Every structure is written in C-alpha cells, then in structure tokens.
Structure 1
Amino acid sequence: MSFQRLVQAAVAALAIAASWPASAQQVLKVGSTPTGIPFTFLDTKTNSIQGIMVDLITEIGKDAGFAVQIEPMQFSTLIPSLTANKIDIISAAMFVTPARKEVIDFSEPFYTYGEGLLVPKSDTKGYVKLDELKGEVVGAQVGTAFVDALKKTGLFSEVKAYDTIADILRDVNSGRLKAGFGDYPIFAYYLKQGGFAEARIVESYRPTIMGSVGIGVRKSDGELLAKINTSLAKLKANGTVGKILEKYGLKAQGA
C-alpha cells in the first residue's frame, strides 16, 4: 500500500473513531422524586423532574463522561430500585445515614441541613426543642431519616408516616396534624409558593436530626463512585455547585 493510501486509511479510521463517543456514550438511569422541592420536583410545563439534584447529576455526568436519564419514583422506592438494578444512581434529597450506608454507597456530602418544624399558624408558640411537643401526634415522610428518629425519642403519642411532604403540609395547614417534621428547605420552598397559608415554620426550633445529602450508588460500583466524587469536587471548586444552589434560593456551603 502506498504512503498516500496509508494516510487516507488512517484519516478514515480517525473519522470513524471520532463519531463513536457521541453514539456510544454511557447513559445511566438516575432515580429521583417529584416531591422534594427544591432538590427535586415535577415541572408541570415539561412533565419532567427538575431541581437541584437533577442539575447537579447532569453537570457531574457532563464532567465524568456519562449522560443521565431521570427516572421518577417515590422516595421510599429509591434504594430498592437501585439495589435491584432498575436504576444506576440516586440523586434526590436523601440523607447519608449509617443504616443506608450498610446497603448502598454515597458520594461526598453535597449539602447539609436539619429538620424543619411545621405547625398551624394558629399555634404561635416559639418551640425550641422536641420535648415541648411531648404526647402529641406528629408526622414525617415515609422513608426519610426523620420517621425512625422521631419514634426512637419515645416522646410522641404517634408518629404518622406520610407519603409526601405535601401531604404533611396539607394536614398541618388544615389543623388535622399538630406538627410536621421534614426537610427544612422543602418546607420553606412550599410555603414560599403561598399554597399553605395556614401553616408556618417554627424559626425558633433547633433541629436535632442533622444530615448531609449525597448521591447514592450500588456498593459494587466503586469506579462510578470515584468518578462522581472527582467531578463533584471539581464542580464545588469552580463555583458550579454554588450557582446551582443559588438558582433555587439556597446558599453555598463550605462542606
């Protein structure tokens, strides 16, 4: 083969190879929820899941070299879906807890916060501690770290488990529930939208169930976890994470 033909063959091979990444890029299924505003929520205009955790995993994917396909599901089904290989990643408002770490692995923490206390507006007491609600019926979202933690205190006559944060807001707003506990940023976002005029967050309350949000993967996916952590560190350093948080009304954190 002549030198010219060798060059032509090499150029053709390079052209074919250059077309591979776009078509062969790995697409990972990401479990997320429609009820975790502002971390995740259903955008009714596009009928798709949007929010902080969607933006974050999308940016991580761009940096790490994979595309994401968001799979909407209830919060309580996220971990079972991951371990059953129905999804590849969890990117939602999920706390990193010892119990969960026994089942799946998490990325480095992304955002840290505690529980918010929600009561009817007619209740004007400036609650500070949990024991001020001793003997009352309270509520929290099923599958969250709050349900078990509240039950273990032994303070309450009942801890009702609700499917969604919106259900808790609705019952507190109507006066059917004495107090609700849930992710403070989610409560704050809902109330900001003006849909629950008869409920309020108790600003004097000091959270006791602090937690950090992380991205979840299967324990067998150590290589993927390493990629996520590398990209997350880079996005924190270059300000991308801060911009995502600010977009949804939250402040960047040092952690």
Structure 2
Amino acid sequence: MIRALKRIAAGLTAGWIIAAAPAAFAETTYTVGSTATGVPFTFLDVKSNEIQGLLVDAISATGKAAGFDVKVQQTTFSALIPSLTTKKIDIISAAMLKTPAREQVVDFSDTVYSYGEGLIVRADDKGKYTSMDDLKGEVVGAQVGTAFVDALNKKGIFKEVRTYDSVADIMRDVALGRIKAGFGDHPIVAYQLQKNPNPQLRLVEGYKPEVTGQVCFVVRKGDKETLDKLNAGIRKIKADGELAQIIKKWQEE
C-alpha cells in the first residue's frame, strides 16, 4: 500500500513538472510603441491595419534573436516617451534620435540606424541652402517632439519655428507657402517624395545635416533586463547580416 502511494505521488510530481515546463519557458511579450507616420521606419499599412516598416522588422528580428515576442502598438510620436514612462508600453521602436536630453529620461539600446535631418523647400525656391543658418529670419517647421525642433529653437535666428504632428503636415505647409522650409528625418522625407512625388516640393541636395544621430530602441530608465535582451538581439542580427538585409529591403521599397 505504501509503495503504491509513493508511485502515485511520484507520478503526480512528474506531471506537475511537465505541466509547469511550458509556463517556465514561455517567451516574454513586450508591448512596443511605434508611430503611424514615419514611413519607411514605421507606418500604418491601411490594408492590414497594422504598423509596418524598417524598425518594426528590426524589433521583431531582435526579439526572435533574443528570445522574446513583441506586440506593436500605434502611438503618436509626442506620446512615445510619456507612454513608456507610465508603463503603457515597454519599448519604443520609432525614428527617435538618441540625444543627451532624452538620455536623462530614458535608456537607449545599441545603434540600429544612423541619419540626420533633411530640408524641404518649394520646388520654385532656387536657394542654395547648405545649413540651418542659411534660413535666418524665415518661418520654418519641424515635427513636434523631434531633436530638430530643439536644434532650430536653440539657434534663435528664425522668425518662427512651427511644430507639426507629421512630416506630411510639414510638406503641406511648405507647398502652400505658409512656411519657408521644413525639416524632417532625411530617410522619411526622401522615401515619401520618392513614393509620392510632389512637383511643388524638393528635397535640398547639398544640405549638410546638423542633427546627426543614432536611432536605437528605447526602454524605461534603469530597465537593464530589457536593455540587455535588446542589445544581445541587436548584436546577433548585426553579426548574421539580418539587420543589413532589413535596411536594404526598405531602402529598395
């Protein structure tokens, strides 16, 4: 009788271990904030109603390499950091440049992509602009929450610096002559003008970016566990060439 009870107990214990195993090894799922207006980095695909883009592919590949899942959530650019700090999201994967001011509030992963700002003017504006200083005294615009707004305001040389919710809004006001010029993420501006040419606008060739920086994944200040996972995944997809393939794919889209 005692031996029979021992066998039953041993069987139950083994069953508990097997049942618990999937939970123990289940992958963590992180909620990732991405914008709907940052094509080709992040944008809303109207057919699937899902956020897609270079940085969506990059965070998905990073998660797979590091052993976690991601759930991408649409978030406006200006709400990304507030959503992160209030724990509505766990990671930011968007065209957000790493800056000293932001580093005081959040932590950045290793670099995923690097670029600077592009300058948009009307097509009939034949000015040769090579720097922000060439637009002294003019009304200019940039996307709210970006490092470009800070740089323009810091210059203190413009008649007015207007802020916009999206690059599309900036382009509209440049085309209508409401502002002299607009500043935006160079890859985003170039991609949009390539895919949807606007005869009223031009991306200024020869302009030298003043706010060059790195695009990284972003986590809450002090969240070392998530940051370490991200960096481990980034190292893997850089080493095996997957990140380079993702970048190439979206440059050719």
Distance across 1 between alignment mates of 2:217 and 2:19: 35
Cα deviation code 1:204-236 (max 9, x no counterpart) = 111111111011001231011011101101111
Distance across 2 between alignment mates of 1:103 and 1:16: 41
Percent identity between matched residues is: 52
Contact 1:25-1:66 at 8 Å conserved across structures:
yes
Cα deviation code 1:108-154 (max 9, x no counterpart) = 11111111000010112221122211101000000000001111111
- Alignment pair present for 1:208 and 2:218: no
Partner residue of 1:198 out of 200, 211, 219: 200
Q: TM-score by structure 1 length?
A: 0.90
Partner residue of 1:85 out of 84, 87, 97: 87
Could you say which structure has the higher strand fraction?
Answer: 2
Task: Please state how far the C-alpha of 1:70 moved relative to its aligned partner.
Answer: 0.9
Contact 1:169-1:196 at 8 Å conserved across structures:
no
Q: 2:64 aligns to what SS in structure 1?
A: helix
Q: 1:11 to 1:243 in 2, by over 3 A?
A: farther
Which AA in structure 2 matches 1:72?
A: Q
| 1:245 corresponding residue in structure 2 | 247
Partner residue of 2:23 out of 20, 23, 43: 20
Contact 1:170-1:196 at 8 Å conserved across structures:
no
- Alignment pair present for 1:69 and 2:65: no
Cα deviation code 1:73-115 (max 9, x no counterpart) = 1101100110001110011000010000000100011111111
Distance across 2 between alignment mates of 1:52 and 1:8: 50
| 1:134 corresponding residue in structure 2 | 136
Distance across 1 between alignment mates of 2:10 and 2:24: 23
Alignment of 1:140-155 (within 5 A): 140-155=142-157
What 5-or-longer segments of structure 1 have no aligned partner? 251-255
Distance across 2 between alignment mates of 1:195 and 1:12: 63
Q: TM-score by structure 2 length?
A: 0.91
| 2:182 corresponding residue in structure 1 | 180
Which AA in structure 2 matches 1:125?
A: G
Q: Which deviates more, 117-126 or 139-148?
A: 117-126
User: Segments of 4+ in structure 1 off by > 4 A?
Assistant: 4-15
Distance across 2 between alignment mates of 1:56 and 1:201: 27
| 1:38 corresponding residue in structure 2 | 40
Task: Please state how far the C-alpha of 1:175 moved relative to its aligned partner.
Answer: 2.6
Task: Please state how far the C-alpha of 1:61 moved relative to its aligned partner.
Answer: 1.1
What 5-or-longer segments of structure 2 have no aligned partner? none
Larger radius of gyration: 2
Distance across 2 between alignment mates of 1:240 and 1:58: 11
Which AA in structure 2 matches 1:31?
A: G
Task: Please state how far the C-alpha of 1:21 moved relative to its aligned partner.
Answer: 6.0
Contact 1:139-1:180 at 8 Å conserved across structures:
yes
Q: Which deviates more, 7-16 or 28-37?
A: 7-16
Which AA in structure 2 matches 1:77?
A: A
Q: 1:160 aligns to what SS in structure 2?
A: strand
Distance across 2 between alignment mates of 1:201 and 1:46: 30
Distance across 1 between alignment mates of 2:234 and 2:17: 32
Which AA in structure 1 matches 2:19?
A: I
Contact 1:191-1:197 at 8 Å conserved across structures:
no
Which AA in structure 2 matches 1:166?
A: A
Aligned length: 249
Measured on the aligned residues, the alpha-carbon RMSD in Å equals 2.1
